[in-house]
């Protein structure tokens, strides 16, 4: 009797826990912002959440990471094919001077197959010029990872 009661509780618990483990993940990053007010340095820390559960949300997250200059977290969300080309240090150093003034996702997600999709991202630069890029994602390890971009 004791074993039957435990099985009816334990089996659903294990199944739900396993299911939750394989759900797409959200990345989180801690930022510190410092400003001077009346010659006093004021520092505040906050957590920013990045969502890579769908290609559209992943595109938004890539844009936010680029705006924040947080290329370490961006590297952690690269597809295996792209992260295999660079070390994290090389990737961060290559992008550290690139600055964008804003971004916008144009249109909906286009799925090329069940494990690859892209969104078109319009990037606005400091000189007020803009360009559109096809931003491609691979579905790997439970989330959509950045594979690359190509100007359209």
The pLDDT assigned to 75 comes to 95
Catalogue all structural domains in the chain, each as residue range(s) with its CATH number: 2-151 (3.10.450.100)
Summarised one tens digit per residue, pLDDT across range 81-121 is 999 999 999 999 999 888 889 999 999 999 999 999 999 99
Summarised one tens digit per residue, pLDDT across range 3-50 is 455 666 656 555 544 444 444 555 544 444 555 666 666 655 545 678
**pTM attached to this predicted model:** 0.69
128: its two tokens: 């007020």
Please, what is the Cα angle at 23 between 78 and 115, to 5 degrees?
50
State yes or no: pLDDT of 127 exceeds 80: yes
Question: Would you say 141 and 133 are in contact if contact means Cβ atoms under 8 Å apart?
Answer: no
End-to-end Cα, the chain, rounded Å: 66
């Amino acid at each position: 009797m004791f074993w039957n009661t435990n099985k009816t509780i334990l089996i659903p618990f294990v199944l739900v826990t396993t299911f939750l483990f394989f759900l797409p993940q959200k990345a989180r990053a801690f930022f510190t912002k410092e400003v001077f007010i009346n010659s006093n340095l004021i520092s505040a820390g906050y957590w920013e959440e990045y969502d890579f559960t769908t290609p559209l949300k992943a595109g938004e997250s890539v844009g936010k990471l680029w705006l924040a200059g947080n290329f370490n977290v961006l590297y952690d969300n690269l597809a295996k094919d792209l992260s295999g080309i660079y070390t994290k240090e090389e990737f961060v150093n290559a992008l550290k001077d690139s600055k964008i003034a804003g971004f916008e996702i144009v249109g909906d997600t286009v799925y090329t197959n069940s494990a690859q999709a892209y969104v078109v991202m319009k990037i606005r630069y400091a000189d007020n010029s803009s360009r559109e890029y096809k931003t491609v994602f691979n579905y790997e390890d439970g989330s959509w990872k950045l594979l690359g971009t190509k100007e359209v």
